[in-house]
């Protein structure tokens, strides 16, 4: 009987923590909607969702954030937008926040803007991506400067952009 009371007390405490919005709580509809909104307005889909920009955003949500085979070629080499649904579903919210705070990547990813986002927005982005679930395949790997790449890719002006340090 004592074990039953202890178990019920623990369940009640966990339930109360979840209702209070604890980090271990299941994402609520508002935070998922906030993540959806942030991903729309910050341009994440422009690179991380195939054909999103070309179709003026008219891409089913089921295809969002699955990465792209379109490369971005410049003095830094050729980069590809990763499949965020595969990446973020492998990270906890806390791991994602830490990664976003320390991220430094090659162009065209605006990592410096991601670092400026507030923690609640980063968590909402993570919750939305996890809500979508894993889908798609990993993006092609980075290709160093001077190596040939297969199309499709966007060629950035070679003299206009310095390679990141």
| Averaged pLDDT for residues 146-164 | 82
Q: E-assigned strands of 14-151? A: 71-74, 77-80
Closest CA to 96 of 115, 69, 73, 76: 115
| Averaged pLDDT for residues 22-32 | 74
pTM above 0.75, yes or no: yes
Predicted confidence (pLDDT) per residue in 94-131, tens digit: 999 999 999 999 999 999 999 999 999 999 999 999 99
Give one DSSP letter per residue of 95-131, joined into a string.
Answer: HHHHHHHH----TT--HHHHTTS-HHHHHHHHHHHHH
Residue 44 · residue 110 · CB < 8 Å: no
Closest CA to 134 of 90, 97, 93: 90
Predicted confidence (pLDDT) per residue in 48-96, tens digit: 999 999 999 999 999 999 999 999 999 999 999 999 999 999 999 999 9
């Amino acid at each position: 009987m004592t074990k039953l009371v202890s178990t019920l007390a623990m369940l009640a405490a966990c339930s109360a923590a979840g209702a209070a919005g604890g980090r271990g709580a299941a994402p609520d509809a508002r935070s998922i909607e906030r993540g959806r909104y942030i991903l729309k307005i910050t341009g994440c889909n422009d690179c991380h969702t195939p054909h999103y920009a070309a179709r003026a955003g008219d891409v089913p949500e089921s295809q969002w954030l699955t990465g792209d085979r379109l490369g971005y070629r410049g003095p830094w080499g050729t980069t590809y937008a990763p499949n965020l649904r595969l990446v973020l579903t492998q990270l906890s919210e806390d791991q994602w926040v830490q990664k976003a705070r320390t991220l430094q990547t090659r162009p065209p990813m605006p990592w410096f803007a991601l670092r400026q986002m507030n923690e609640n927005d980063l968590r909402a982005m993570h919750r939305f991506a996890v809500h979508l679930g894993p889908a798609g395949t990993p993006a092609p790997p980075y290709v160093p400067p001077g190596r040939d790449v297969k199309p499709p890719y966007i060629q950035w002006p070679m003299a206009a952009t310095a390679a990141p340090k």
